[in-house]
Chain A
């Protein structure tokens, strides 16, 4: 059975997210995922798809608790959306790292999540990037659905 959600991303961008997580370790890194989602395209009968084509790294605003929290302000979100528009893309999600912790969403992640966005989490263990997962908040806000990550070498959009 097909996964309900799939995120297409290049190997290079996956590596870069891991490098950002290692670079800010033991603090969390965060940033925007810029890309395309077929939901806003006018092609009738198109297979739903989402692809990340660029990253927009942001400063973690939670300087009071950067080891276990990240925050992106509304102004940062507007900056990320502006950067996306300049590339002809949309903000399709966000990435952050979990230093010395598994790549699973926490209850705090869920309480603060938006629907629709892809949330990539990279686990960084002892300063080295480990597992990378992606999640989407369910419509009822009660849980996440894991998103299958398809690593591609080239943009397919």
Chain B
């Protein structure tokens, strides 16, 4: 299936400054895998060392958060749009 992956602004410098990429995938996980195959430098910003999506990386299939679907196993179809959306967190050290 041909799907479009939307790349968030802070990661575009690792993706030839593109704001999206076309990948061939059957699931959201495969779409993200296809993206990091095209742009290897993206991987460490999206996934932890053990291959899990980082907690502040949010992924939407069209307008649905994949956490409320089948997560990375969520199937995709031709023309779907997978969006990577940052969430932001931080704060001072304790004490």
A interface with B by C-beta (< 8 Å): 28, 30, 39-40, 62, 65, 68-74, 76-78, 81, 90-91, 94, 96, 98-99, 101, 105-109, 112-117, 119, 139-141
Contacts and interface: CB of A to CB of B under 8 A. Distances in A.
A122 to B, nearest CB: 11
Nearest to A65: B91
* Main SS at interface, chain B: mixed
Contact of A106 (B11, B55, B60, B93): B93
Interface residues of B, number: 26
Contacts of A96: 90-91
A114 B91 contact: no
Given A74-B58, A117-B10, A101 B88 contact: no
A113 B85 contact: no
Contacts of A98: 91-92
B85 A108 contact: no
Given A68-B94, A101-B93, A108-B93, A116 B9 contact: yes
Given A77-B87, A113-B90, A115-B10, A141 B56 contact: no
A146 to B, nearest CB: 16
B12 interface: yes
A69 B88 contact: no
Contact of B17 (A39, A72, A107, A114): A39
Interface in B30-72: 41, 44-45, 55-56, 58, 60, 65
A115 B41 CA distance: 12
Given A91-B9, A107-B93, A115 B45 contact: yes
Contacts of A106: 90-93
14 contacts: A72-B87, A72-B88, A74-B85, A74-B87, A77-B85, A94-B88, A99-B92, A101-B92, A107-B93, A108-B91, A114-B10, A114-B86, A114-B88, A116-B10
